[in-house]
Copies of this chain bind each other. A is one copy, B any other.
Amino acid sequence: MAVRLAENNYGKSRVRLLRVVRQDGRHDIKEMTLGIRFEGDFEAAHTKGDNRKILPTDTMKNTVYVLARQYPVEAPEDFCLHLIEHFLTYNPQVSRVRVEAAESLWTRQTHGGKQHASAFLRAGEEKRTAGVAGTRDGTTIEAGLRDLVVLKTTKSQFEGFLRDPYTILKEDRNRILSTSIRAKWIYEGEEIEFSPVWHGVRQALLDTFAEHDSKSLQHTLYAMGEAVLTNFDPIREIRLSLPNKHFNLVDLTPFGMDNPAEVFVPTDEPHGLIEATLRKD
């Protein structure tokens, strides 16, 4: 029996970048963390220690900064595309490049309703994400977000579920519903304006979460995905991964008190997890 190298890739992870654009009276910033992966003809490096086809990961990192100097770095999807084009052009040994970007969001500071020209505030832990993969035959573009934490105090039930001998969960007509939205969607077509669409999808996810009359987190997930697919033409598929962040109602009866859905314990573990992909046919 022979040992064989199957799938393999290498690259640089956690390449951090801040790009400043300085115009008169207004500065703009973009912060993102990038990961780059090469697939290609690397068998000799693995089996013989022959590095002649290995571009150092240090060079990948340098290339990020060189291209960030050459391009304005607005939509993460566009910056990933520039990197992929560069790497495929100059590296015949590489068959496929994947670049992932996670943008750390900043908002402008405000004072008296007015936005500041050059002072910014970190806008939470939410990340705008992009994942672009390219070969010499084409590219696939995925956009997304993660760590967008939401909570609603009404319009959430969980009833009529399957019971077995180990089921002691009570039916609940008025539970807290909370999740940390992780979404990825795939674009098809050309000339997509990545940033306006991203903001639109984000708002559609938030609006649907807020308004949906939820029978379960599955039910709400589906409604969120459907809202995106029906409202955004260039999106043909969306994947949602939603942890069910449980807020447990505190039992105050040992202390002679009721608890009409007012006092809860937020918990991190264990948690439910609902995942699904929705697709347009």
Contact = CB atoms under 8 A, between A and B. Distances in A.
Interface of A: 1-22, 27, 29, 31, 35, 37, 42, 45-59, 61-63, 65-66, 68-69, 90-91, 93, 106, 109, 111, 116, 118-125, 148-155, 158-169, 176, 203, 206-207, 209-211, 214-216, 218-219, 221-222, 225-226, 229-230, 237, 243-244, 247, 250, 252, 254-255, 257, 259, 261-281
A13 B166 contact: no
23 contacts: A5-B277, A12-B272, A16-B270, A17-B263, A18-B266, A49-B216, A51-B161, A51-B215, A56-B161, A59-B163, A59-B164, A63-B166, A66-B252, A66-B255, A69-B263, A106-B151, A109-B150, A116-B210, A119-B211, A122-B124, A122-B150, A124-B124, A268-B269
A162 to B, nearest CB: 5
Given A69-B263, A167-B56, A276-B8, A159 B51 contact: yes
Contact of A57 (B61, B176, B272): B272
Contact of A230 (B3, B149, B278): B3
A8 B222 CA distance: 10
Contacts of A166: 59, 62-63, 66, 255
Contact of A3 (B6, B45, B226): B226
Given A124-B122, A166-B255, A169-B56, A12 B154 contact: no
Given A1-B281, A31-B266, A275-B9, A162 B52 contact: yes
Copies in the complex: 4
Contacts of A218: 8, 10, 42, 45-46, 54
Given A62-B255, A109-B150, A271-B14, A164 B20 contact: no
A99 to B, nearest CB: 13
Nearest to A122: B149
A29 B153 contact: yes
Nearest to A16: B266
Contacts of A11: 272-273
Contacts of A164: 55, 59, 90-91
Contacts of A272: 10-13, 57
